[in-house]
Amino acid sequence: MTGMIHTKHHDLSRRAFLGRSALVSATLITPSMGLAAPQQVEEKAGEFKRKIKLGVVGCGGRGSWIAKLFQKHGGYEMHGVADYFQEVADKCGDVLNVDKSRRFSSLSGYKKLIESGVEAVAFEIPPYFFPEHTKAAVEAGLHVYMAKPVAVDVPGALLVESLGKKATQKNRCFLVDYQMPTDPVNLEVVKRIREGALGKIAQMATTGFCGGFEDPPLGPTIEDRLQHLIWVNDIALGCDYIGNFDIHALDAALWVAGQKPVSACGASRICRPDPHGDSADVCSAVFEFADGLVWNHCGEALKNDPEGALICRAYGGKAMAQINYWGQAFIRGGKLHYPGGNVENLYEAGAVRNIATFYGNVTEGRFDNPTVPRAVDGVLTSVLGREAAARHTRLTMEQVIRENKKLEVNLHGLKA
């Protein structure tokens, strides 16, 4: 029950299981953002210190797909599943051989799963529910693995930020599953940027193009919008397209810049035919940083380009660099020129690396949880861009945080 990546070669649904898993994990987080240095987690099949008792909440396309990757890793015991729809939980439970007594449904199913004896929980649900679900998991003393975006608004993002700190205080792991920072070619590009490959970075440009989503008519309740990626069309459920799809490119820009923007201006509109949700499928935003760095973002979610794009480009006085979700990543020019290479199968490979890292963090006792503040910065940045574009004006990050605007979803008529 999370988003979709459209690749150059084919549509790669976050609801599809894509096969084999890898066994090496590498993540790099920028020191300037207060995050950890690279960690290598290497395991041989069948050789694990112990099994982590895991529950999965959200068992639709990506939820069931990533649950199989957890199972294939070998270091996890698939203990419980929960989904709003009982039939979805049962289908996933059958595949994972989860006892029928630990397959939960309805809005409160996640609470029953948390109480079922799990040690860790993986959340793959519409982002609106992340803060509330995460709060329950952290307070129960569980390790948390979570998709992005971690919230849809400022209050939710700030709550998740506090929960990340609380998890660290309680010696619990909290990992947010971004894939671009795990790719070896992207890692080398950013490493060289840190070493001065570009010189002073003058501007950045990011692109988030996808092939659009089905947006059927609204029903008497939001039940039908909780699955099949329909929820991405609703800002309160999915954080708008800039916060759900484009956020991969935004995360890469924050990775390069090592800081949050201080302001944004822009414009957005809805261009898909017969829209029913309020997500803007066309968005352009210009972000500015405290040091004067300028960042242009362009996003689109229309059925006009099967290739799509999730790219971050950085331009400095000496050279330029490109970070990619699929396709080429490289540095052109300068003494640290890097021909780079192709980012391969990142949707799956990145998740596999993160699953391995999560296992290593739990079993080795690494509780610094560096992906949380970065993920929170990603949400705050996407909200800043979303609001500035929607209002066709310039807003500061300080203004947006001070407004503390909370988005509400009408849960009337749903199974509690």
pLDDT at residue 326 in the model = 93
Neighbours of 218 (CB within 10 A): 13
Helices 154-169 and 130-139, axial angle in degrees (round to 10) = 20
Query: Which pLDDT band, with edges at 50, 70 and 90, does 369 fall under?
Result: very high
pLDDT reading at 220 higher than 80: yes
Query: Which pLDDT band, with edges at 50, 70 and 90, does 226 fall under?
Result: very high
Dihedral of the CA atoms 31, 36, 42, 45 (nearest 10)?
A: -130
pLDDT at residue 24 in the model = 27
For residue 168, give the amino acid letter: T
Q: Please give the Cα distance from 117 to 128 (Å, whole number).
A: 25
User: Which alpha helices (DSSP H) does 239-330 contain, by range?
Assistant: 240-244, 247-257
Please say whether the beta carbons of 312 and 252 come within 8 A.
Answer: yes
pLDDT at residue 11 in the model = 39
Q: Please give the Cα distance from 11 to 139 (Å, whole number).
A: 38
- Looking at residues 232-245, what average pLDDT do you find? 98
pLDDT reading at 44 higher than 80: no
pLDDT reading at 41 higher than 60: no
pLDDT reading at 290 higher than 80: yes
Q: pLDDT tens for residues 148-158?
A: 999 999 999 99
- Residue with token string 């679900």: 133
pLDDT at residue 363 in the model = 97
pLDDT reading at 38 higher than 50: no
pLDDT reading at 1 higher than 60: no
Model's pTM, two decimal places? 0.90
pLDDT at residue 48 in the model = 86
- Residue with token string 């953002």: 33
Q: Please give the Cα distance from 290 to 50 (Å, whole number).
A: 47
pLDDT reading at 261 higher than 70: yes
pLDDT reading at 291 higher than 60: yes
Please say whether the beta carbons of 245 and 11 come within 8 A.
Answer: no
Task: Kindly write down the DSSP assignment for every residue of 184-215, as one continuous string.
Answer: HHHHHHHHHHHTTTTSSEEEEEEEEEE-----
pLDDT at residue 2 in the model = 35
pLDDT at residue 30 in the model = 33
Q: pLDDT tens for residues 171-210?
A: 999 999 999 999 999 999 999 999 999 999 999 999 999 9
- Looking at residues 9-33, what average pLDDT do you find? 31
Q: Does residue 317 or residue 305 have the better pLDDT?
A: 317
pLDDT more than 70, % of the chain: 89
Q: Please give the Cα distance from 177 to 247 (Å, whole number).
A: 12
Neighbours of 72 (CB within 10 A): 15
pLDDT at residue 209 in the model = 96
Instruction: For the chain, list the domains and their CATH numbers.
Output: 5-179 (3.40.50.720), 181-366+372-403 (3.30.360.10)
Q: Please give the Cα distance from 301 to 271 (Å, whole number).
A: 9
Q: Please give the Cα distance from 20 to 348 (Å, whole number).
A: 9
pLDDT reading at 14 higher than 60: no
Query: Which pLDDT band, with edges at 50, 70 and 90, does 306 fall under?
Result: confident
pLDDT reading at 25 higher than 90: no
Query: Which pLDDT band, with edges at 50, 70 and 90, does 294 fall under?
Result: very high
pLDDT at residue 8 in the model = 37
pLDDT reading at 87 higher than 80: yes
**pLDDT, mean over the chain:** 90
pLDDT more than 90, % of the chain: 87
Which residues are within 8 A (CB) of 285 and not within 5 positions of it... i.e. 6 or more apart? 242, 264, 265, 266, 296, 297, 385, 388, 389
Q: pLDDT tens for residues 316-357?
A: 999 999 999 999 999 999 999 999 999 999 999 999 999 999
- Looking at residues 50-60, what average pLDDT do you find? 97
pLDDT at residue 46 in the model = 56
* 274 CB burial (10 A radius; 0-12, 13-18, 19+): exposed
Hey, CA dihedral for 358, 360, 364, 370, is it positive or negative? negative
Q: Please give the Cα distance from 106 to 344 (Å, whole number).
A: 37
pLDDT reading at 311 higher than 90: yes
Residue 44, φ and ψ in degrees, nearest 5? -100, 145
